[in-house]
DNA sequence: TATTTCTCCGTGCACGTGCACGGAGAAATT
DNA sequence: AATTTCTCCGTGCACGTGCACGGAGAAATA
């Protein structure tokens, strides 16, 4: 083991020396807070360039007294729900940034209730946060919220879905349209052209579908058109309620008894385990089933072979990257990419374990 | 924006205060380098526990004079090859760790020449490295090498493939057997049971196949057995040379002319673009093609629809995680997981873009 | 008792950066 | 000319930790 001092990392005082000024002046140039003559500024900038200086981020955050406080806004959830992953990922992610003097506060709203979202969002302002990360469930309310954020000069990022034409810092999420397209391909390829397909939708209040669902559905239809299957395939829509499992069961029962030769079924959200549960009860293994997200129940049915495909969208990464980019932009003044589509990950029973077990 | 000093992070001097000793003593306990009375030691340990102290890693590595030097051993490659990704990833990864006083030296060997590997490996010792990361291409030579590493107390990690029963720190790589199994599933599902399948192998010197290839092939066969297709499917093996493209072309020509109704073809390495090129020249679109790894050429043929599936194994992650774990273990004395299988990522023309573009 | 050795421990500087403070000299004002 | 204001810049401490140095007191040796 070698004890070598200093591998010659060049620091602020090296450029001070080269530029013929003191490190205080260098500091003023780096954080351009003025009070520097043009001559000195240029000398420093040249030195920085010549020596290819990059600051030691550790020393920086050690020395910095600034404390950054971010707020994230996500829906309330039941244990095992999709949103639990995102929630836990925030805790996980913030741990990687505590040493940068970063802390985070989470706020929850009712995903069926737009006014709950508005109230939660409003409560953010009293905290005077340095940045906000949110899943923009309700378009109108989100627009109102972010315009107020902009007025107060508070940067914000979207994840999961986005509201376009707003001045968000970053977006991390899946391209829903494309993921619906891919879902269609996986579900339909190899099936007869006139097969019966069950499309299971979950309605929220006022019959409104989520952004994600709408766009995935569009992508789904697009594939069907492209393959020239429109009008040939028999698409059967089944509308379930979000909370009434008993009613849902009989709705499914109804659908399957009316359509005897269903070859495949799909949901555009994470609730595919409902369908799986239903099919398993009936010991039907002849229906190709596809859904989204790696809920524990979904994974179990995938491994059992009841579900054929799951499409995942790395919720943990969405959260981590959103937070990281906010740090990069605000703390380290680095550039970040605005729109970031996460991969459309295809999971089958044979590769699911490696996907889940892999901890980066 | 809030200027709040100190969010109450407890540091070494807080435990010194609570334990009634100086921070020097606390330091001696933490790094247990002795010269501490039992009474003091226990007081400090109690204080650490009571206050739930965790060291500030930034301050630690800032103050530390120790410089860690790692060596990695990878094969030489042509531009665009699989190993280029790994090579570049090392550069990328080491950047994240320079502030921890870490540097890395890369060493290359000829992947067709075991003795080249041995020579390269031997040259490592003169550097007195703190750790070694290698892709263990040659079993015998690797065994000799690592036993010498162990004798000199130098920790080492495998990636890409591993040599079992050695005392490696970590392994990151794909489960080759399982990935071959999955490859078979993707390639064969939906084909007639008596289809003609081309299995294209690349021989290295002395007719030796790489570990990866052997195991993927085993997994492939396993699936065929499980499906009861053994003896029904017509598997045609084609052996190509690694470097003679002209000979390879005529070998393929030969294979396709002898087997008129080939329905699918597979290679267990990254050279599937050869097959794609051949099929494209002949304007044949009726052959389902599967291969490994996201070489630029492979991706192009996938997007064109010549290749149906690519299986990826996150070489960048393998490298990054190997290096990160070495830091965790050696610098921060944290525990790491020994065997880490990376996901078997399934890519089709419709999800490849998101996969490639996504920068974490 | 005087000297040496040994055990234990406190002090103080360093790492690279941020930032407050104050000072020197020029320019503007009285 | 004396004073004030303004522009520019250097000095020095702090962040939390690692580590070298040396000192105090006890124990061992003379």
How close B6 comes to chain A (CA, Å)? Answer: 7
What does pLDDT average to over chain A?
91
DSSP of A133-159 = EE----HHHHHHHHHHHHHTT--EEEE
B258 Ramachandran zone, left/alpha/beta (phi>0; psi -120 to 50): alpha
Task: Compute the distance between CA of residue B198 and CA of residue B182 in angstroms, rounded to an integer.
Answer: 17
Q: Which nucleotide is nearest to A23 (CA to C1')?
A: D10
Q: What is the pLDDT of residue A112?
A: 84
Please enumerate, as own/partner, the contacts of B83-92 that have beta carbons within 8 Å and a separation of 24 or more.
B83/B111, B85/B294, B85/B315, B85/B316, B86/B135, B86/B159, B86/B160, B86/B315, B86/B316, B86/B318, B86/B319, B89/B315, B89/B316, B89/B318, B89/B319, B89/B320, B90/B319, B90/B323, B92/B316, B92/B320
Stated as kind and residue range, the H or E segment containing B90 is helix B82-95
For B172, nearest residue in chain A (alpha carbons)? A358
CB contact (8 A) between residue B99 and residue A357: no
Pairs across A and B, CB distance < 8 A = 120
Evaluate if residue A10 carries a pLDDT over 60.
yes
Evaluate if residue A315 carries a pLDDT over 90.
yes
Residues lining strand C, beta carbon within 7 angstroms? A 6, 9, 11-13, 23-24, 27, 30-31, 55-56, 59-60, 62-66; B 20-25, 28, 34-41, 59, 62-63
Binned average pLDDT, 10 residues per bin, chain B of 360 residues? 49 91 93 88 92 88 86 94 94 85 92 91 93 93 96 95 94 97 96 93 72 92 95 92 83 88 94 93 90 97 97 96 92 88 98 94
Share of chain A above pLDDT 70, in %: 97
Convert the pLDDT of each residue in A158-185 to its tens digit. Answer: 999 999 999 999 999 999 999 999 999 9
How close A96 comes to chain B (CA, Å)? Answer: 11
Q: Which of residues 14-33 of B touch strand D (CB under 7 A)?
A: 23-24, 27, 30-31
Protein CA at B62 to nucleotide C1' at C22, angstroms: 30
Q: Which nucleotide is nearest to B27 (CA to C1')?
A: D18
Q: What is the pLDDT of residue B207?
A: 56
| Cα distances (angstroms) measured from residue B250 to each of B255, B262, B278 | 8, 17, 10
Q: Calculate mean pLDDT across residues A56-62.
A: 87
Evaluate if residue A109 carries a pLDDT over 90.
yes
CB contact (8 A) between residue A341 and residue B357: yes
Domains of chain A: 12-55 (1.10.260.40), 68-173+315-341 (3.40.50.2300), 176-312 (3.40.50.2300)
How close B340 comes to chain A (CA, Å)? Answer: 7
CB contact (8 A) between residue A58 and residue B99: yes
Question: HSE (CB half, 13 Å, CA atoms) of B344?
Answer: 23
Protein CA at B30 to nucleotide C1' at D19, angstroms: 13
For residue A348, list chain B residues with Cβ-Cβ distance below 8 A: 182, 185, 346
For A219, nearest residue in chain B (alpha carbons)? B350
Query: Could you say which of B189, B340, B357 has the minimum Cβ distance to residue A358?
Result: B340
Give residue A58's pLDDT band: very low, low, confident or very high (50, 70, 90): confident
Q: Which residue has the higher pLDDT, A120 or A5?
A: A120
Q: Residue B222, Cβ neighbours under 10 Å: how many? A: 15
Protein CA at B65 to nucleotide C1' at C10, angstroms: 22
How close A313 comes to chain B (CA, Å)? Answer: 11
Q: What is the pLDDT of residue A3?
A: 32
Q: List the nucleotides on chain D closer than 7 A to a protein CB.
A: 7-12, 14-21
CB distance A22 to B151 below 8 Å: no
Question: HSE (CB half, 13 Å, CA atoms) of A334?
Answer: 12
For A179, nearest residue in chain B (alpha carbons)? B351
CB contact (8 A) between residue A340 and residue B358: yes
Protein CA at B61 to nucleotide C1' at C13, angstroms: 17
Protein CA at B250 to nucleotide C1' at D15, angstroms: 69
CB distance A304 to A329 below 8 Å: no
């Amino acid at each position: 083991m070698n004890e070598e001092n200093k591998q010659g990392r060049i620091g602020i005082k090296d450029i001070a020396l080269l530029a013929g000024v003191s490190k205080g002046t260098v500091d003023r140039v780096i954080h351009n807070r003025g009070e520097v003559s043009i001559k000195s500024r240029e000398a420093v900038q040249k030195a920085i360039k010549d020596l290819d200086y990059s600051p030691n981020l550790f020393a920086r955050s050690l020395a910095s007294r600034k404390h950054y406080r971010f707020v994230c806004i996500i829906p309330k959830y039941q244990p095992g729900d999709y949103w639990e992953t995102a929630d836990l990922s925030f805790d996980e992610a913030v741990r990687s940034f505590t040493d940068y003097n970063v802390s985070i506060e989470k706020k929850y709203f009712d995903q069926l209730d737009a006014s709950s979202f508005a109230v939660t969002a409003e409560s953010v302002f009293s905290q005077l946060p340095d940045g906000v990360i949110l899943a923009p469930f309700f378009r109108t309310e989100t627009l109102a919220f972010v315009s107020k954020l902009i007025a107060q000069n508070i940067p914000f990022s979207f994840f999961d879905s986005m509201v376009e034409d707003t001045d968000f810092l970053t977006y991390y999420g899946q391209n829903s349209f494309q993921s619906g397209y891919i879902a269609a391909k996986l579900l339909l390829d190899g099936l007869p052209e006139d097969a019966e397909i069950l499309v299971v939708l979950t309605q929220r209040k006022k019959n409104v579908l989520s952004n994600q669902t709408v766009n995935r559905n569009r992508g789904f239809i697009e594939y069907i058109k492209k393959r020239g299957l429109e009008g040939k395939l028999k698409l059967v829509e089944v509308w379930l309620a979000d909370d009434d499992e008993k009613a849902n069961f009989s709705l499914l029962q109804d659908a399957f008894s009316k359509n005897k030769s269903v070859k495949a079924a799909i949901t555009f959200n994470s609730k595919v385990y409902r369908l799986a549960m239903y099919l398993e009860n009936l010991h039907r293994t002849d229906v190709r089933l596809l859904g989204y997200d790696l809920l524990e129940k979904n994974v179990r049915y995938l491994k059992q072979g009841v579900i054929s495909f799951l499409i995942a969208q790395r919720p943990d990464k969405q959260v981590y990257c959103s937070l990281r980019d906010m740090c990069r932009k605000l703390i380290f003044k680095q550039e970040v990419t605005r729109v970031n589509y996460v991969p459309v990950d295809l999971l089958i029973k044979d590769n699911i374990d490696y996907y889940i077990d892999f901890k980066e």
